[in-house]
Amino acid sequence: MAMIVKNKYKISNNLVGLRIDKALTVLDNTCSRVYFSNLIKNGYITVNGEKISPSYKIQNEDEIVVYVKEDEIDDSIKPYELELNIIYEDDDILIINKPQGLVVHPGDGHQNDTLVNALIYNKKELSTVNGFNRVGIVHRIDKDTSGLLLVCKNDYSHNFIAEQLKDHTMHREYIALVTGVIANNKGKIIAPLARSKENRMKYEVNPVEGKEAITHFEVIKRFEKYTLIKCRLETGRTHQIRVHMDYIHHPIVGDPLYGHNNCALYNKGQLLHAYKLTFIHPKTKKEMTFECPLPDYFESIINNLK
């Protein structure tokens, strides 16, 4: 049975001299030393392309590769032939410009036509922290939201990025076209969110049971009946921008769940685009920022507004 790469590490000075099984618990604190020792004994871990013993002492610039059997991946996840719009790629992360209409990971109604399926088809090395149904996925954007998505290629990178999501140091910014003319140039929406009890597909503002949710917005341009805005997420709840804009009575144009039938201008999903992503790279520890322009259909709609 073939083996595929689960994680790959390049050793830095602070780990030199440690036993490899102990060093791996530093690189991936989700697993024990015994776990890694067993993997080494069974040939699932190599150093510089060679099999080693658990007592091997780490040297500077060593390349450690952790493998997993191909049949350990859930074979219900079928490869999906799709050309990915990759904005950036290195040994640790991928930045993808996701098109509108593409679901991020398998779930109800979409098992074989998601971004995860496409990543498997393109034979990308991916993190497994969230299970094989969500390989590589550390955060997500909705099916009909377009734009930037960060994918992790190993578990160390995944955990590092997840911490930034948790402490709100990863910045995600969006552009949206909303219904109505917003009077204020800037605003901050603080409204806790919880799943709706009446419609399990939706989320709603719930001050009692909801989780903290904060969205900042800024007006880019006003039209006769619409407003183009930038939004920055301080938290990252499901449907957050969509629910918050509806909460202040300016739902996103085309939104099938929260738009209150405001789909006359556009009826293929919400006009919401993740245009900017800023984070600290897991290996270099340097800040990185990526931007991508609005999709052509979104730009065309704006250009025809008065």
Distance CA 28, CA 213 (A): 30
Return all residues near 5 (Cβ < 8 A) that are at least 6 apart. Answer: 65, 66, 67, 125
Beta pairing class for 272-280 and 146-152: parallel
Indicate the pTM of the whole model: 0.76
Do 199 and 297 contact (CB within 8 A), yes or no? Answer: no
Residue 283 carries which side chain, given as an amino acid letter? K
Under DSSP, is residue 101 helix (H, G, I), strand (E, B) or coil? Answer: coil
Marked catalytic residue, from 142, 144, 155, 255: 142
In sequence order, the 6+-apart residues with CB closer than 8 A to the CB of 286 are 280
Per-residue confidence in pLDDT tens, the chain, 306 aa: 456 666 788 887 778 888 998 888 888 766 667 778 878 888 889 999 899 998 899 998 888 988 766 555 555 577 889 999 999 999 999 999 999 999 998 876 777 889 988 988 887 888 877 766 788 899 999 999 999 999 999 888 998 999 999 898 999 999 999 999 999 999 999 999 998 988 888 999 999 999 999 999 999 999 999 999 999 999 989 999 999 999 999 999 999 999 877 778 888 999 999 999 999 999 999 999 999 999 999 999 999 998
Residues in contact with 113: Cβ distance below 8 Å, sequence separation at least 6, in sequence order: 80, 102, 103
- For residue 132, report the phi and psi dihedrals to the nearest 5 degrees: -70, -20
Q: Which of 277, 233, 236, 269 is nearest to 253 (CA)?
A: 269
What is d(CA 229, CA 244) in angstroms, rounded to the nearest whole number?
Answer: 13
Where are the extended beta strands (E) located within 72-192?
86-89, 93-98, 146-152, 171-179, 186-190
Active site residue 90: no
Query: d(Cα 169, Cα 163) in Å, to the nearest integer?
Result: 8
- Asked if 306 and 224 touch (Cβ cutoff 8 Å), the reply is yes
Is 84 within 8 Å of 122 (Cβ atoms)?
Answer: yes
- The answer to whether the Cα torsion of 230, 236, 241, 242 is positive or negative is positive
In total, the chain counts a number of residues equal to: 306
pLDDT at 108: 65
**Distance (Å, whole) CA 251 – CA 260:** 8
The rounded distance, in Å, linking the Cα atoms of 138 and 159 is 8
